Structure 1
Amino acid sequence: MKVLFAASEAVPVVKTGGLADVIGSLPKELAKLGVDVRVILPKYEDIPHHFKERMEPVTDFELQLGWRKLYCGVLKLEMGGIIFYFIDNEFYFGRKGCYGYGDDAERFAFFCRAVLDSMQYLDFIPDVIHCHDWQAGMIPVLHRAHFSYLPAYAHIRTVMTVHNLKYQGVFAKEQFQDFFALGEEHFSGYALELHGGASFMKGGLLYSDFITTVSPTYAEEIQTPYYGEYLDGLLRSQQHRLQGIINGLDYEAFDPMTDAHVEIHYRDSLAKKQLNKLKLQERLGLPVSKEIPLIALVTRLVDQKGIALIDRVVAELMALDAQWVVLGTGEPQFEQLFRWAADQYPDKLSANISFDEALARQIYAGSDLFLMPSLFEPCGIGQLIAMRYRSVPIVRETGGLKDTVAPYNEATGEGTGFSFTNYNGHDMLHTIQRAVRLYHEPAVWDNLVANMKKKDFSWRKSAQQYADLYDRLVTRI
């Protein structure tokens, strides 16, 4: 089985969000199952030099993008036993950052076309092209429209994975006609048209052979108007070829026993975890105490992550017998909220408005509780890392948070965290109050940690689900 992952980012070379973690870790687990999986990405300027200098040229050719004849280079690099290919064009990708440019439509149109054109030069024609998020969404469209009739490409199946439906790659219809040489039949009626323009994401959903998303609950949620981002009707009509497969966690990359950023290594020892907490409190300038619970928030400070709920009840939260550590960047009003709170309550809250991977790991290791009150959360990786580092999650019951965090039941002793259902500040507040109360009951806390220890959120089970899906697609008549 040959599978090509087409995506816009992957750890360790380039990352802006959770997509990169998936693309960096899932292929390694698929390879253990005997899948020949490779990854293809844009060659961004921001890729660190020590990766670039190890890349080997594979080929270069002239690519036709509408009326344009463009240079396209392909390089390769082996990392962790997986071959990564990089699409090279300095005009499109030789600039800072991955996204947010006025010509993003053209940049990722070039990438989608380059993925398909480059295969004939790679000595690797896959059985399945697995496309991730809108930046790769036009690959199934181009395959169906321009490549599927070619003998070398006819057998290829395509899978589209939605990591976040909110981002849809919507641009002017005229740009799609220009870049992709597509006729009017691809835009009228049940096709690429969306919001008066056309959408990369919708193309991937309509033209792929199968659709997955990153948790079973999110797969159900996006078929409803509240979560469906105006594509819920389309997704309901395609539910026969839609499956939610929960994201896993790279247990080698995230391991408190070996994490280079964690000063005192541990697995299940709460005593050793507490030593990390004391060091973290000291580093952050918070009162050093084992007795007071430390609640962490490591996230993008944006509306999706539920920060508005914290804003709503911030005074009540600061009145709790607890400490807070916040790490992240995002919307100015939310950054200012935490700067203000840190100034008003210096013994209660440490605000770190930055992106700092080392500090993030120390926070996972040193915190007692980990808050994720998301408005929506396709999967979420923070709660998985928190449980791996034995920090008890507090989550809203949505998407992957609902699928991975079992609410603690005091009567039975079951559960791995605390959760609330409604998107409501006081519901969140009451749940946090309960968590703080139970922190002071050692038997309860030991039980919660023991329950988390039994859970396996590695990629093993999910990778098998993907492998089974590929097999069904390739072998069906």
Structure 2
Amino acid sequence: MKLLFVAAEGAPFAKTGGLGDVIGALPKSLVQHGHEVAVMLPYYDVVAGKFGDQVEEVCYFYTQVGWRRQYVGIKRLVRDGVTFYFIDNQHYFFRGKVYGDWDDGERFAFFQLAALEAMEQVGFIPDVLHAHDYHTAMLPYLLKEKYHWIDAYRGIKTVFTIHNIEFQGQFDPAMLGDLFGVGAERYEDGTLRWNDCLNWMKAGVLYADRVTTVSPSYAEEIMTPEFGKGLDVVMRMEAGKLTGIVNGIDTDLINPETDPHLPAHFSAGDLSGKATNKALLQEKLGLPVRADVPLIGVVSRLTDQKGFDVVVSELHHILQFDVQIALLGTGYADFEQAFAWFAGQYPDKLSANITFDLGLAQQIYAASDLFLMPSAFEPCGLSQMMAMRYGSLPLVHEVGGLRDTVIPYNQFDKSGTGFAFKGLSGYLLTKTLENALEVYYNRQDDWATLQQSAMSQDFSWETASLAYINLYEQL
């Protein structure tokens, strides 16, 4: 099959979160299964800075963004068998950041129009076009309503993936004419309208041939008022074409046996290197070097979505236990300040690193015994899978992808890959941690069994991509 991914970000070129990881890993895996895969991304200044000397110029043309005649440069780079096409327009994409500008609507309207017109220009007409999140959610609509007159495009099937339903792309309906150059009929008849706004994500859900989310549980959750962020009615209406597929992780990169960021390598068969990493991290972070104390890792954005309001409310209680916490992340100022304050009060128990450092992140995964991830909602989550691969047992709130990937410890048959609680509350978080510490201190054989089970889980894209291939073949 010929498969085309269109997304706002993709590793290693430009990445802000899980979407970037997926675009970096899934196409590569599909190529290994024998498919012809291309990816279209914006040519950001960050891409130019890192890869400008590797890309080749393909062509350029102009497109109409409403009344604006805009330049579209096409650059190409082949990596891991995947052909990456970059849409170049410095006015829109040389901003020093991927998202967060006042004209994001215009920037990504341009990107979608340019991407569709570029397919003909570069001679890559896919069997399946796969769009991701709100930034590219208008593609299925545009294919059917604006570009349907192009014969070569009529057979293209579309898949739309929701990585996070919170960000829907809600804009003034005048954008239809002003930017996309189409009439207002589909807004006026209610198809594209939601809460008196033009809603890009609603358009993607209604017009795509299939809709996926990044875990089966999240697919169920977004059909409920609690998690649907206002679109749950639409998701229930389109439930027949909705599928949840758990993301994979890049097991070549996320590998305790070869990770270049680790002082000591280790495997499920020989965990001695993990103990070395723990001692070295404790020393590096100024924590007492003790093998007998459970080290709890946290690598996260510090936001309500990630459950840190609950963590902060319980931190005084948690720090009464004989534990150490190694935290790495940035986020809401009040959470950053709270962790910094607690680190000052409990310097032997908490190291708060309010920054982002990839090397330190990998060292925390590798050194920690427990990995704390009590998200209020989590479409998929990658950190819990990465932690398990490094023998760090996740302690999670049972939602979304966390529910689908972490098997709660069962004291009777010794099964499980971590610890979990249902219902986000400080009490349940602390009680679950208490249970985990009881296993750590008093049931070392059970702990070792859990570690072996966690490290043997298959979270590779090799497996995850098979579900996508099945979906594409159905189309």
TM interval, shorter chain, is over 0.9
Q: Which residue of 1 aligns with 2:399?
A: 398
Task: Provide the rounded CA distance (Å) in 1 between the counterparts of 2:450 and 2:380.
Answer: 22
Q: Which residue of 1 aligns with 2:435?
A: 434
Deviates more, 1:263-272 or 1:162-171: 263-272
Q: Which residue of 2 aligns with 1:120?
A: 120
| CA shift digits 1:190-242 (9 cap, x unpaired) | 31112322122111111111100000000000000000011001010101100
In the alignment, is the contact (CA less than 8 A) between 1:46 and 1:95 conserved in 2?
Answer: no
Q: Which residue of 1 aligns with 2:355?
A: 354
| CA shift digits 1:384-420 (9 cap, x unpaired) | 0001111000000000000000000011011100000
Specify every segment of 5 or more residues in structure 1 that has no aligned partner in the other structure, as ranges.
Answer: none
Letter in 2 for 1:331: Y
Q: Which residue of 2 aligns with 1:318?
A: 319
Task: Provide the rounded CA distance (Å) in 2 between the counterparts of 1:186 and 1:109.
Answer: 17
| CA shift digits 1:414-438 (9 cap, x unpaired) | 1100000001111011001111121
Task: Provide the rounded CA distance (Å) in 1 between the counterparts of 2:397 and 2:50.
Answer: 40
Deviates more, 1:237-246 or 1:187-196: 187-196
Q: Which residue of 2 aligns with 1:70?
A: 70
Q: Which residue of 2 aligns with 1:457?
A: 459
Q: Which residue of 2 aligns with 1:283?
A: 284
Q: Which residue of 2 aligns with 1:252?
A: 252
Which residues in structure 2 correspond to 1:21-32 (within 5 Å)? 21-32=21-32
Task: Provide the rounded CA distance (Å) in 2 between the counterparts of 1:366 and 1:306.
Answer: 23
Task: Provide the rounded CA distance (Å) in 2 between the counterparts of 1:148 and 1:160.
Answer: 18
Task: Provide the rounded CA distance (Å) in 2 between the counterparts of 1:245 and 1:177.
Answer: 35
SS in 2 for 1:415: coil
In the alignment, is the contact (CA less than 8 A) between 2:373 and 2:397 conserved in 1?
Answer: yes
Letter in 2 for 1:20: G
SS in 2 for 1:254: coil
Q: Which residue of 1 aligns with 2:450?
A: 448
Letter in 2 for 1:258: T
| CA shift digits 1:225-270 (9 cap, x unpaired) | 0000110010101011000000011100111111110110111123
Q: Which residue of 2 aligns with 1:367?
A: 368
Q: Which residue of 2 aligns with 1:198?
A: 198
Q: Which residue of 1 aligns with 2:176?
A: 176
- CA offset at residue 282 of structure 1? 0.2
- CA offset at residue 48 of structure 1? 5.7
TM-score normalised to the size of structure 1? Answer: 0.98
Task: Provide the rounded CA distance (Å) in 2 between the counterparts of 1:229 and 1:309.
Answer: 21
Q: Which residue of 2 aligns with 1:160?
A: 160
Deviates more, 1:75-84 or 1:237-246: 75-84
SS in 2 for 1:57: strand
| CA shift digits 1:309-333 (9 cap, x unpaired) | 1122111011111000110111111
Q: Which residue of 2 aligns with 1:341?
A: 342
Decide whether aligned partners of structure 1 residues 292 and 220 sit closer, same or farther in structure 2, where only a CA change above 3 A counts.
same
Letter in 1 for 2:406: V
Deviates more, 1:308-317 or 1:400-409: 308-317
In the alignment, is the contact (CA less than 8 A) between 2:384 and 2:402 conserved in 1?
Answer: yes
In the alignment, is the contact (CA less than 8 A) between 1:218 and 1:379 conserved in 2?
Answer: yes
Task: Provide the rounded CA distance (Å) in 1 between the counterparts of 2:425 and 2:178.
Answer: 46
In the alignment, is the contact (CA less than 8 A) between 2:378 and 2:402 conserved in 1?
Answer: yes
Q: Which residue of 1 aligns with 2:232?
A: 232
Task: Provide the rounded CA distance (Å) in 1 between the counterparts of 2:344 and 2:126.
Answer: 55
- CA offset at residue 450 of structure 1? 1.7
SS in 2 for 1:243: strand
| CA shift digits 1:162-186 (9 cap, x unpaired) | 0000011111111233111222221
Task: Provide the rounded CA distance (Å) in 2 between the counterparts of 1:244 and 1:12.
Answer: 25
Report whether the alignment pairs 1:90 with 2:90.
yes
Task: Provide the rounded CA distance (Å) in 1 between the counterparts of 2:186 and 2:333.
Answer: 40
In the alignment, is the contact (CA less than 8 A) between 2:266 and 2:272 conserved in 1?
Answer: no
- CA offset at residue 147 of structure 1? 1.4
Task: Provide the rounded CA distance (Å) in 2 between the counterparts of 1:189 and 1:221.
Answer: 28
Please tell me the root mean square deviation across aligned C-alpha atoms, in Å.
Answer: 1.0
Task: Provide the rounded CA distance (Å) in 2 between the counterparts of 1:48 and 1:252.
Answer: 26
Report whether the alignment pairs 1:242 with 2:246.
no
Letter in 1 for 2:208: S
In the alignment, is the contact (CA less than 8 A) between 1:191 and 1:203 conserved in 2?
Answer: yes
SS in 2 for 1:305: coil
- CA offset at residue 150 of structure 1? 1.5
Task: Provide the rounded CA distance (Å) in 2 between the counterparts of 1:59 and 1:335.
Answer: 46
- CA offset at residue 308 of structure 1? 0.7
Letter in 2 for 1:49: G
Q: Which residue of 1 aligns with 2:266?
A: 266
Task: Provide the rounded CA distance (Å) in 2 between the counterparts of 1:146 and 1:338.
Answer: 51
| CA shift digits 1:435-465 (9 cap, x unpaired) | 1121123201111012113311111222111
Task: Provide the rounded CA distance (Å) in 2 between the counterparts of 1:252 and 1:26.
Answer: 13
Letter in 2 for 1:470: Y
TM-score normalised to the size of structure 2? Answer: 0.98
Letter in 2 for 1:205: V
Letter in 2 for 1:227: F
In the alignment, is the contact (CA less than 8 A) between 1:171 and 1:198 conserved in 2?
Answer: yes
In the alignment, is the contact (CA less than 8 A) between 1:3 and 1:38 conserved in 2?
Answer: yes
Task: Provide the rounded CA distance (Å) in 2 between the counterparts of 1:302 and 1:168.
Answer: 19
SS in 1 for 2:227: coil
Task: Provide the rounded CA distance (Å) in 1 between the counterparts of 2:73 and 2:197.
Answer: 30
| CA shift digits 1:3-57 (9 cap, x unpaired) | 1110111111111111111100011111111111111100111226341111001
Task: Provide the rounded CA distance (Å) in 2 between the counterparts of 1:348 and 1:140.
Answer: 51
Specify every segment of 5 or more residues in structure 2 that has no aligned partner in the other structure, as ranges.
Answer: none
Q: Could you tell me the percent identity over the aligned residues?
A: 47
Task: Provide the rounded CA distance (Å) in 2 between the counterparts of 1:461 and 1:366.
Answer: 27
SS in 2 for 1:350: strand
Letter in 2 for 1:174: A
Task: Provide the rounded CA distance (Å) in 2 between the counterparts of 1:233 and 1:148.
Answer: 28
Letter in 2 for 1:462: A
SS in 2 for 1:198: strand
In the alignment, is the contact (CA less than 8 A) between 1:35 and 1:467 conserved in 2?
Answer: no
